[in-house]
Amino acid sequence: MIKDKIYQAQCFGNIEPIEYMVPYPNLHSLAVGQCIKFSDNLLFMEDNLSNAAFLKLINQYSNWLETKDIKKGDNVYIDNIPSPYFDIMCYAVWGIGATLVISDDKNASIEARLTINDPSIIEKINDSNISKDYTTKVNVLLNDIAVQYYHKGKAIILSHYNLLINAYGIFKELNLLYNKSIKVDIPISNTAFIVLNTILPLYAGTSITTNDPDIVFGSGKDSDYQILFDWNDLANTNPQSLYVLPEATAILAIGSKPNHLTSIKVEEDSYKINGHSVMMGYLKNDQNTQAFKNGSLVISK
């Protein structure tokens, strides 16, 4: 069965993708835990938004989503919403067990219970009297779907675990230090932005700024780490490149080194990938049949 093939590809040697590999039961719990533990930390510097304020807005947005009758398993499509409100809404969606839908495919046919693509909606929520206290009502597991990403004619499905382990790998490999500041200078509607801008700062205890950051993740060669979406080979570069493959959640490799709990076998015309960042699959099963072969995720060069 295709589910068994996907699971085989998600194994890293004899290490199965099981829940104890990360210290959080889901993405929302990462925000709650870090924002309470380090409540006074400034998370988004230009917006003067502390961890505590960030969490209160997550709660407010979660309550707003419930007024729209969004429930666990529903798709919520977000587009044209700037950071940090995009990031806040991500955690609000995950907190009620819904699936975040994003797309960089203009031709994608997206089905969603709710579409949020007007920045004025955010202003209305922020100015409303909706409570900033929220009680979690559902049990969200690491293997539950967190993101559905429409990319190059395919819809990629990622779990809470996929995103957490991918972000943890970057945190671990780059040895990001607490209280450093970062800038993420890439488009929003992709999984690399979610890993680097939405998840990583909370994992690492860093702040996000556009003004004299310690570390810049960007597409230009003046970045400290160059984010490459289109590439043919994995190589060490200066500045070092982070290679993006959405089917492996976001960051496949740091230079020539695979991300944490990921293995890459280079074939003549393809890459054979195994590990915990390997996606839950495509939305369409015929695409899964083509991609998962001989116990690996196979990506053509």
Q: Per-residue pLDDT tens for 96-138?
A: 999 999 999 989 999 999 999 999 999 999 999 999 999 999 9
Predicted pLDDT at 220: 87
pLDDT band of residue 19 (cuts 50, 70, 90) is low
For residue 179, pLDDT beyond 90:
no
Predicted pLDDT at 151: 97
pLDDT band of residue 178 (cuts 50, 70, 90) is confident
Predicted pLDDT at 152: 95
Sign, CA dihedral 131-74-160-223, equals negative
Predicted pLDDT at 22: 83
Helix (H, G, I), strand (E, B) or coil at 188: coil
Neighbour-count burial of 25, counting CB atoms closer than 10 A to its CB (0-12 exposed, 13-18 middle, 19+ buried): middle
Residue pair 94/74 in contact by the 8 Å Cβ criterion? no
pLDDT band of residue 177 (cuts 50, 70, 90) is confident
291's tokens: 């991609």
Give 1's strand partners.
Answer: none
pLDDT band of residue 30 (cuts 50, 70, 90) is very high
The domains found in the chain, sorted by start residue, are 10-240 (3.40.50.12780)
For residue 231, pLDDT beyond 80:
yes
